[in-house]
Amino acid sequence: MNQAFPDTFLWGGATAANQVEGAYLTDNKGLSSSDLQPQGIFGPTVERNSDNENVYIKDMAIDFYHRYPEDIALFAEMGFKCLRTSIAWTRIFPNGDEQQPNESGLAFYDRLFDEMKKYNIEPLITLSHYEMPYGLIKNYGGWGNRQLIDFFENYAKTVFTRYKDKVKHWLTFNEINMSLHAPFTGVGLPPDSSKSEIYQAIHHQLVASAKAVKACRDIIPDAKIGNMLLGGIVYPLTCKPEDVLKAHHENNSWLFFGDVQVRGRYPGYMQRYFQENNISITITDEDKQWLQNTVDFISFSYYMSGCATTDETLSTAKGNILSMVPNPYLPSSEWGWQVDPQGLRYLLNVLYDRYQKPLFIVENGLGAKDLPDTEGNINDDYRIQYLNDHLVQVGEAIKDGVDVMGYTSWGPIDLVSASSAEMSKRYGFIYVDRNDNGEGSLERRRKKSFHWYQSVISSNGKAL
């Protein structure tokens, strides 16, 4: 029995617009970077025009754009206190640089937030989850261009003003550190961009994030706004001092983003890294001022841990974004992601020790193939096991004294995977009848884990 969870704990699930909504050109939506990567983040980028409408899996995804009332009702049945999703920037500013927003896009999110309100489900809204207007890549060169800061600020102010009475929890950029590994998705740059180009674009995004924090405070003083990190915690493979230092440096390569967003300035270790790697970027005095608008809380995703070693003969295990040396003590998922529940407790402690700010776990889950039995039931005990083990560790971290605001499991309803654009890699408590070829009725069905999560939430974690 686990009594660690506070009464205010925000239990729920997390999705992203481009992985659930579909309707990729509906109601004047513009093309996004995600629409140009129909096979996922590491697939090729393709040309898109109206002739190839609805040919790719993400174009319709799970049709959340039209089916959200049914899905929200199912989330409410599970007892969700919170739903994390994102606004598709291209529904609001189809090309990114318009003066006026697209009213039909704004109206969609009004309907969505009103539906959530009916069930007292708190929206946790990401401003940019792995997508940006393609117009800003084509016409401005992506985040390498400083003008993107203004376009993003305008977008953020538009949605803060529109939804100020409906949304009180916001996140700026999903997994902001992922641009180091997937620059097109993260900052709209070609994969062969130089490190200086990538860090300059990242710098612009960090300033844009800080400007959004300021705008949120001005427009919705009672809201909370956080950053979002891909929590790729790394252990030293051995106790060899070289491995310990390697792990320290690898962790700093992503904690750097948190350091800027939480502490408001570039850390010293980054200046050394830039010098030693001939990375040169422009940071103005005005930028430095802006960066002081730091976040209220830190959110992060956690799926796996990894190891660091100076032994270059060892191969790496691939997650969706990160590749890390595998830990010989841990099992792996069907997709080779190492499963480490205690790593979540460790990560929560690392982040809390470093920042002393509330933490929100906004993604965690198991991608697995679900095979319905002869009666059509999905007995996903492996998913229950994974989530239960991780949540027990969240309880342990709370007992360690870590301030945890909530937990939104990734993909509470099956959705299109980000890295490989598959339907068959399922995370949900709710099964969606659609396969990788786009066939299926899109019917929703409760899996065994649906009932398990319902009891976890209704007991506030005591059922773990």
Task: Please identify every residue annotated as catalytic.
Answer: 363
Q: How far apart are CA 185 and CA 32, in angstroms?
A: 10
Q: Is 363 in the site for ligand BG6 (CB under 6 A)?
A: yes
Look-up of token digits 């039909």: 104
Nearest distance from residue 415's CB to ligand BG6, in Å?
Answer: 7
The whole-angstrom separation of Cα 432 and Cα 434 is 6
Select from 198-206, 388-396, 417-425, 430-438 the region that touches ligand BG6 (CB under 6 A): 417-425
Q: Which of 48, 169, 390, 425 binds ligand BG6 (CB under 6 A)?
A: 425
* 367 makes contact with ligand BG6 (CB under 6 A): yes
Kindly indicate which of the ranges 2-10, 248-256, 280-288, 411-419 contains the residues binding ligand BG6, using the contact rule CB under 6 A: 411-419
Among 130, 134, 170, 429, the residue binding ligand BG6 under the rule CB under 6 A is 130
Cα–Cα distance for residue pair 61/421, rounded to 1 Å: 9
Residue 301 contacts ligand BG6 per CB under 6 A: yes
Residue 362 contacts ligand BG6 per CB under 6 A:
no
Closest CA to 205 of 167, 137, 262, 261: 261
Q: CB–CB of 202/292 below 8 Å?
A: no
Q: Does 423 bind ligand BG6 (CB under 6 A)?
A: no
Window contacting ligand BG6 (CB under 6 A); options: 62-70, 149-157, 201-209, 413-421? 413-421
Is 64 a residue that touches ligand BG6 (CB under 6 A)? no
- Structure token digits, residue 101: 């927003």
Q: Does the protein bind ligand BG6 through residue 86 (CB under 6 A)?
A: no
Shortest Cβ 75–ligand BG6 spacing (Å): 17
Give the DSSP letter string of 398-431.
Answer: HHTT--EEEEEEE-SB----TTT--SSSB--SEE
User: Nearest distance from residue 276's CB to ligand BG6, in Å?
Assistant: 29
Whichever of 321 and 348 has its CB closer to ligand BG6, that residue is 321
Q: Tell whether residue 320 is a contact of ligand BG6 (CB under 6 A).
A: yes
CB 218 within 8 A of CB 189: no
Q: Which of 175, 243, 259, 414 is in the footprint of ligand BG6 by CB under 6 A? A: 175
Show the CA angle centred on residue 19, arms to residues 13 and 21, nearest 5°. 95
Contact (CB, 8 A) for 183 and 201: yes
Please name which of 317, 336, 334 lies closest in space to residue 369, comparing C-alpha atoms: 334
Q: How many residues bind ligand BG6 (CB under 6 A)?
A: 16
Convert 32-63 to b/e letters by CB count within 10 Å (16 or more is b): bbbbbbbbbbbeebeebeeeeeeebbbbbbbb
Residue among 18 and 200 whose Cβ is closer to ligand BG6: 18
Contact set with ligand BG6 (CB under 6 A) = 16, 19, 130, 174-175, 230, 301, 320-321, 363, 367, 410, 417-419, 425
